[in-house]
Amino acid sequence: MVLALGGFVLATALVPALRAAEKPPLRTSFVTGFVLAAFTVTLGTLGLWLATIPTAIQSIGWLYIGWQRLRRGGRSPGWLPPPGL
């Protein structure tokens, strides 16, 4: 029950990031999305369906944020080389 409730709270916390113009770094978004997808499969195979659903929502949310970032050009300013290189 704790995993399910925490998962729904974290999924809800993603809504501002989904709507914001500024997105997290591309690599962060995709790595988080794919790790959460692995957690989703793991929780599902254990039969923890109330925890599987919010984890799947989080995974889809992070992958969608990564897709939004990729569609807007992908790279964040942190990935650019310092001036003069």
Which of helix, strand or coil describes residue 82?
Answer: coil
Task: Please answer whether residues 18 and 72 qualify as being in contact, where contact means their C-beta atoms are separated by less than 8 angstroms.
Answer: no
pLDDT of 74 reads 63
Would you say residue 52 lies in a domain?
Answer: yes
Domain count, the chain: 1
Which of 51, 54, 53, 76 is closest to 65 using CA atoms? 76
Query: For the whole prediction, is pTM greater than 0.85?
Result: no
Residues near 38 by Cβ (< 8 Å), separated by ≥ 6?
Answer: none
Would you say residue 59 lies in a domain?
Answer: yes
Would you say residue 1 lies in a domain?
Answer: no
pLDDT of 40 reads 97
Would you say residue 14 lies in a domain?
Answer: no
pLDDT digits (tens, 9 = 90+) for 20-58: 988 888 899 999 999 999 999 999 999 999 999 999 999
